Amino acid sequence: MHLQLVPWLAAATLCATLCSSSTLGTTSEADKIASLPGQPKVSFGQYAGYVTVDEKQQRALFYYFAEAEADPASKPLVLWLNGGPGCSSIGAGAFCEHGPFKPSGDVLLKNDYSWNKEANMLYLESPAGVGFSYSVNTSYYSSVDDKMTARDNLAFLRNWFEKFPEYKERDLFITGESYAGHYVPQLALLIVQSKLFNLKGIAIGNPLLEFNTDFNSRAEFFWSHGLISDATYESFNTMCNYSQIRRQAQSGTLTPVCSRVNSEANRQISKFIDTYDVTLDVCLSTVSSQSAVLNKLQQTEKIDVCVEDKTLKYLNRKEVQEALHARLVGISSWTVCSYVLKYEYQNLEIPTISILGELVKSGIQVLVYSGDQDSAIPLLGTRTLVNNLAKQLGLNTTVPYRVWFEESQVAGWTQVYGDKLSYATIRGASHEAPFSQPERSLVLFSSFLGGRPLPEGLMSESAVETNKIIGDQS
């Protein structure tokens, strides 16, 4: 899966069309989904449609909302944001990761580890220009930045609550991954400052928090996982590091030295490795009717590595778009990551780790987690940033670094600082952790919402002894 931190094609010429007045309606009933094509029968409510965030510019954001499977009135509201910047929370989060369904051919399969088992899940395509979201004034697309995105996301929530007033006083959590390491904290801070809504916490996975630390941890990750040689690792440390390469590539000023280091690393890693999960098979999309399936990390779990391709086909079906109350405004097809949006890439270098500190001080729960097989935003940098933040805030470690369990297996490691800040890894997980480790991710999500420590789940004494004996035979 290649959903985050990827550059896209140059903006196409748009032919904007006006949205009908029904699309801009203010009642939730107009957005209710009778049934999605090919979906199994379910008892929970689904809604999708548009929320206008700027009447003058005719800018509207598209959402998909899946109420909790059981007793939605007692469950919190969770907003999910994917990153990019410029990638779809519906195409990635909802249909590839933790939504109620996943496409398979012409039908939707029930996701046994959907996050709407624990919460009312709201997926937002943001900013305008992403997915089905649009701006009739297409000049908006030419230079979008973090501040604009945060303001529109706040306007979306204010107006969405007008459609769904029954959720206005509900506990609110904001979650996301990758470049949502910018989106989520910035939106949360606006909410705290404006004293709007009942924000309880945020959770961000493999997030971009600080440009140099996050990108420079890649070389050590590649080297420690055997993907690059000792000599190439030394080149990253002495000649040109990954933050320099990324910065130069974005500005079109890649130096010969950095180009050589990058090329040699790419040769050694090879094009057959998914850098968002270095253990994951890649989708053989060029081979007709074949799907590479991962069945290595869990004996009981099969991961469809071609689900993004299937989502792309599903969301471009006319009857699917009609069921979702979606339309293509100024674009010819729905895409996972936008080809019309020109995001201000300089914003990648704005650190957001300090915003997490502001949120912790304001009493907001903050969980940062890492899929530990991701080399795009590796756990090495993220863990260092959270540790340093805790020291800056003067927070004592309340839960020392330890394993946590999903049933009888180690699901990752965790550490808690004070009573508001926590860090966790998800063992065997990718950049999009719920995609490759859905069951473990659901346990993490459930514990976070419930304010519970991650399960300690110790093995039996006999299992421990057996494990020691096996380990001693090396």
Residue 228: both structure tokens together: 């690059």
CA distance 409 to 15: 53
DSSP labels, 331-389: -SS--SB-SS--B-GGGGGS--HHHHHHHHHTT-EEEEEEETT-SSS-HHHHHHHHHHH
Instruction: Please give the C-alpha separations between residue 8 and each of 84, 85, 126, 309, 343, in angstroms, as whole numbers.
Output: 10, 10, 16, 17, 10
Residue 138: both structure tokens together: 């297409």
Cβ atoms of 131 and 340 within 8 Å: the answer is no
Cβ atoms of 175 and 365 within 8 Å: the answer is no
Residues designated catalytic: 178, 374, 431
CA distance 143 to 346: 11
Among residues 172, 135, 142, the alpha carbon closest in space to that of 61 is found at 135
CA distance 167 to 161: 7
Cβ atoms of 438 and 355 within 8 Å: the answer is no
Among residues 53, 63, 85, the alpha carbon closest in space to that of 183 is found at 85
Residue 196: count of CB within 10 angstroms of its CB? 15
**Amino acid at residue number 471:** G
